[in-house]
């Protein structure tokens, strides 16, 4: 019996949550990964067949139940980041994230505070001008953009937390929550794209980030523009973080869990910690901290606190994505 789109979507989420508990170095990771990819491709194919989305529609034309399926491309991008073939991982993730951002933008689901970054990311997957906008050459410009994105994400999380505390999850609350959830996914996508661009730069310069294996998944391309014509042709790949559940109470439980858990860790290049920090320091991503000598809490101090929190989060995510002993293994036979 053929599964419905809703059933496929829920199956994708369950499989994603399971595979994120596995180490990429575990014996059955490749097999589980490929199985997850197959289910995701079936779900995306079913979504494409239904032609739920159109560039001629706006948010008012989109039902809450159909809105949630936009996230399949976000989750698919997150799964692509897990591919052991880093060249394929970078290219595929960027393509799926581009599709997700395009749909979010078409339906007005991108927060105003992130629109300029989304526009640059969407149009600048290979454009130097857009890349320079997101990563200005001067350290102060990079610092300003990072803090701006961090504050936007923090504001979205606070809105989600406020929605989760409402005593009754009526239809309006469910819809507002879904909109805010996609907004948070947009913020997370921008963070992932930043890491992917850093890794792509290393790969393009023939830096061995992770050795390719014979078990690498076949590389394919996803043209986000074809979503207007009923969707792209998709091969084998897979998902991303925890998804909102279908029932109102389940949705609120999942939301509360996600808020407590914090941001989804971004997949960073596998390299030594010192090497990564050295690269970040050279490109201005890490600035030496200055001890505060001002007795009053100024705007500058507030900005420094946000930057400190942001860097602590990035460091935690890096350590989680790069456990001890997970560096380049090319010389280990």
Give tens-digit pLDDT for 283-304.
Answer: 555 555 454 454 555 666 666 6
pLDDT bracket for residue 270 (50, 70, 90): very low
Distance CA 228, CA 220 (A): 19
Neighbours of 14 (CB within 10 A): 14
pLDDT bracket for residue 84 (50, 70, 90): confident
CB 78 within 8 A of CB 192: yes
For 25, 41, 86, 190, 237, the CA distances from 218, given in Å and listed in that order, are: 19, 13, 12, 25, 9
CB 118 within 8 A of CB 149: no
Average pLDDT over residues 264-268: 41
pLDDT bracket for residue 10 (50, 70, 90): very high
Average pLDDT over residues 113-136: 64
Average pLDDT over residues 67-86: 94
pLDDT bracket for residue 79 (50, 70, 90): very high
Domains in the chain, ordered, with CATH? 5-282 (1.25.40.540)
Average pLDDT over residues 268-272: 46
Distance CA 203, CA 282 (A): 17
Could you tell me which of 94, 62, 74, 36 has the C-alpha nearest to residue 237? 36
Average pLDDT over residues 8-14: 93
Provide the pLDDT for residue 318.
61
Provide the pLDDT for residue 302.
65
Give tens-digit pLDDT for 182-209.
Answer: 999 999 999 999 889 889 888 888 655 4
Give tens-digit pLDDT for 212-226.
Answer: 444 443 433 344 444
Average pLDDT over residues 62-83: 94
**pTM score, whole prediction:** 0.62
323 has a pLDDT exceeding 50: yes
Provide the pLDDT for residue 2.
84
Distance CA 192, CA 286 (A): 17
Provide the pLDDT for residue 325.
54
Q: Which of 100-109, 258-267, 298-307 is predicted most confidently? A: 100-109
Provide the pLDDT for residue 268.
39
Distance CA 119, CA 113 (A): 12
Mean pLDDT across the chain, nearest whole number? 74
């Amino acid at each position: 019996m053929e599964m419905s789109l809703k059933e496929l979507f829920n199956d994708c989420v369950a499989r994603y949550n399971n595979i994120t508990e596995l180490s990429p170095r575990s014996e059955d990771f490749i097999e589980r990964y490929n199985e997850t990819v197959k289910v995701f491709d079936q779900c995306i194919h079913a979504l494409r067949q239904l032609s739920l989305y159109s560039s001629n529609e706006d948010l008012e034309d989109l039902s809450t139940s159909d809105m949630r399926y936009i996230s399949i491309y976000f989750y698919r991008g997150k799964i692509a980041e897990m591919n052991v073939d880093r060249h394929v991982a970078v290219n595929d993730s960027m393509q799926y994230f581009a599709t997700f951002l395009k749909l979010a933008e078409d339906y007005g689901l991108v927060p105003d505070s992130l629109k300029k970054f989304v526009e640059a990311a969407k149009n600048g997957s290979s454009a130097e001008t857009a890349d320079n906008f997101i990563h200005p050459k001067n350290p102060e410009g990079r610092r300003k953009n990072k803090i701006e994105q961090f504050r936007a994400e923090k504001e979205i999380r606070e809105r989600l937390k406020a929605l989760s505390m409402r005593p009754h999850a009526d239809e309006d609350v469910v819809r507002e929550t879904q909109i805010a959830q996609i907004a948070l996914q947009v913020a997370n996508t921008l963070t992932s794209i930043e890491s992917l661009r850093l890794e792509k730069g290393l790969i393009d310069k023939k830096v061995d980030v992770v050795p390719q294996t014979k078990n690498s998944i076949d590389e394919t391309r996803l043209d986000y523009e074809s979503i207007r014509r009923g969707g792209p042709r998709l091969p084998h790949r897979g998902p991303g973080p925890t998804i909102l559940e279908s029932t109102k109470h389940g949705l609120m439980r999942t939301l509360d869990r996600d808020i407590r858990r914090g941001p989804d860790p971004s997949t960073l290049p596998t390299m030594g910690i010192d090497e990564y920090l050295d690269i970040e320091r050279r490109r201005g991503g890490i600035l030496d901290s200055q001890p505060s000598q001002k007795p009053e809490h100024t705007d500058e101090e507030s900005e420094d606190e946000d930057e400190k929190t942001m860097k602590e989060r990035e460091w935690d995510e890096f350590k989680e994505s790069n456990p001890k002993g997970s560096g380049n293994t090319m010389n280990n036979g």
